[in-house]
Amino acid sequence: MIYGSLHTESKRDGQWNVQPLSPTSASKYYTCPGCGLEIAPGIAHVVAWRADGLMGETDDLAARRHWHAHCWKIK
Ligand SMILES: [Zn+2]
């Protein structure tokens, strides 16, 4: 399976930076904002944060969220 590199995606609510994470780099529990469920360690998922800079890059980075790959796809 191939895990992509950092890229931007257009969503209904704007441009987002997306960083896919491989199972080996997923080492903590996160709560997915898409479904509200946990993402367990060892599960490949994506990290996303706004790319349109509305709130400033530092705030956007601080507000990055971890998503299940499937939940991100249907966002
Ligand atoms: Zn989810």
Distance 60 CA to ligand 1 centre (A): 20
Is 64 a member of any domain? yes
- Residue 16 resides in a domain: yes
Dmax (CA) for the chain in angstroms is 35
Please indicate, yes or no, if residue 2 is contained in any of the structural domains: no
Using alpha carbons, select from 11, 15, 17 the residue that is nearest to residue 47: 17
d(CA 8, CA 49): 9
Number of domains in the chain: 1
Query: What's the CA gap between 54 and 41, in Å, rounded?
Result: 31
One digit per residue, the tens of pLDDT, for the chain of length 75 reads 456 899 999 999 999 999 999 999 888 999 999 999 999 999 999 999 999 877 788 888 888 999 999 999 999
Would 1 be classed as within a structural domain? Answer: no
pTM: 0.86
Residue 66, domain member (yes or no): yes
Q: Is residue 43 part of a domain?
A: yes
Q: Provide the domain limits for residue 16.
A: 7-73
Distance 31 CA to ligand 1 centre (A): 8
Distance 74 CA to ligand 1 centre (A): 10
